[in-house]
Amino acid sequence: MQNAAFVTSDGIRSAFSAAMSEMYRLEVPAYGTLLSLVADVNRQVLADDRGRLATPEAADSLEKVSQERHGAIRLGTAAELAMARRVFAIMGMFPVGYYDLSEAGIPVHSTAFRPVGDEALGINPFRMFTSLLRLDLIEDRALRDEAERIVSARRIFSDAAVSLVEKAESQGGLDSGDAAGFVAEVVDTFRWHSEASVDHDLYRSLHDAHRLIADVVSFKGPHINHLTPRTLDIDAVHAGMIDHGMVPKAVIEGPPRRDCPILLRQTSFKAIEEAVSFRDGTGKVHKGSHTARFGEIEQRGIALTPKGRALYDRLLAQARLEVRPSADGSNAGAYRAALETAFQAFPDDWAAIRKAGLGYFSYSLGDTISRAGARDDLEALIAAGAIRCEPIIYQDFLPISAAGIFQSNLGDADAQEFVASPNQRLFEQALGAKVLNEFEHYAQIEMASLDHCLRRLERSASAA
């Protein structure tokens, strides 16, 4: 049992999320504009009662939806990833899922630190998509060794941050003063630094290998590269971005617009070019620039079962085989049409999705519990109103969508191509823990909710 004097992990996570959002708003002013646009769209969706666009869980309140977001960071070493795991654990965030982005030409593999319990997700579902640079994928041996030397020598977390992590681990939590200090130190870890830690020549070599390699290696810390608010109508926000002077991606990553949203849809505005200073061997400072950070939005739908995900992957591949979306957006209309055509094979009705075993649902007792027989099958219980079901919201990510966002902001003309090279064992070894399997996690949530309902109905039937 947690000491009453300690701040809850949910409270620390909420404070961290708010502080990160405020910092990023100051660093990237367009992010503030994006937040305002998303809030306006969400307010209109809820006012229009278009719950079908948001899924039931999203319609709780404008305030709850408006505070929801995820961030993304890129780390350089196993030691950094292992410490990040300990840091996020203090906030009640745990590694869920393994993502191999090398399959899409990005030299990283990743996980998402996030809360996993329903109560914690309801309080604040902040997620941090965390990538580890795959130095082993850099072809140039000398460049790879130099990059490894640089990232191995740095310490991204301050002594104060590490001390507070150790204190929280040893005593089981942090009081309000320590919690505030912890949040401040960790937020500072992800702050933008305009001074590069390498000279310009080395930066160009890293950049020519891959822009993301330069982004990870060339700075003293893993600056937050985007914060993503959740919208209830991503198409409306995507259109509004242009009116607000942003340059959005030509296509929205993920599935097409549907009455019953599935998985995750994402889009972004173009990364900003930021001034950077490089110091050479003589101490002279040279001015330059770096492009990495951008604005992103997302719309979340139902979590899919392995069967549903296999169908999704097949239909997405079918659409992309017909029309491969170009970086300049010149074939965006043709790609959207191909996507919509392909996904006609995926049911767009909650009951059909559930009966086909394509998505995960949460079950709760209905209004006719006293009149329902526990021996009835599930469909009869639902039809009788004894059991209700709602989609379980997808809390995770899609590697192809993430890579599409990365590539649109990092550029597609990188010199080195990367062959798909998944290595979950290596990633978990660096992490110092196993990642939670998202399918097993959603299945457990669904089964627990159904078991609870059936036990209640059995007791009700016995008492009748």
**pTM for this entry:** 0.89
- Residue 445 domain flag: no
Helix (H) or strand (E) segment spanning residue 267: strand 264-269
The 3-state DSSP class for residue 101 equals helix
Q: In b/e form, how buried is each residue of 81-99, taking b as 16+ CB within 10 angstroms?
A: bbbbbbbbbbbbbbbbbbb
- Residue 33 domain flag: yes
Single-letter amino acid code for the residue at 303: A
pLDDT in tens, 361-408: 999 998 775 454 444 588 888 988 889 999 999 999 987 776 666 666
The tokens of 108 are what?
């990283």
- Residue 42 domain flag: yes
pLDDT at 101: 86
Side-chain-side CA neighbours of 1 within 13 Å: the count stands at 2
Beta bridge pairs of residue 262: 302
pLDDT at 177: 96
> DSSP code of 344?
G
- Range in 28-37, 132-141, 225-234, 419-428 the model is least confident about: 419-428
Cβ neighbours for 1, distance < 8 A, ≥ 6 positions apart:
none
Domain count, the chain: 1
* Of residues 219 and 47, more confidently modeled: 219
From the list 441, 392, 439, 435, the residue with the least C-alpha distance to 129 is: 435
Is the pLDDT score of 143 beyond 70?
A: yes
The 3-state DSSP class for residue 312 equals helix
- The C-alpha atoms of residue 127 and residue 228 are separated, in whole angstroms, by 10
Q: Could you give the percent of the chain with pLDDT greater than 70?
A: 88
With bands split at pLDDT 50, 70 and 90, how would you rate the model's confidence at 63? low
CATH number for the domain that contains residue 32: 3.10.180.80
pLDDT at 248: 82
Helix (H) or strand (E) segment spanning residue 47: helix 29-47
pLDDT at 318: 94
- Residue 170 domain flag: yes
pLDDT at 350: 95
* Of residues 257 and 281, more confidently modeled: 257
- The C-alpha atoms of residue 102 and residue 113 are separated, in whole angstroms, by 20
- Residue 320 domain flag: no
Q: Which domain holds residue 222?
A: 9-252+270-298+420-433
| Residue-averaged pLDDT of the chain | 86
pLDDT in tens, 24-57: 988 888 888 888 999 899 888 887 765 444 444 4
Is the pLDDT score of 75 beyond 70?
A: yes
Is the pLDDT score of 257 beyond 50?
A: yes
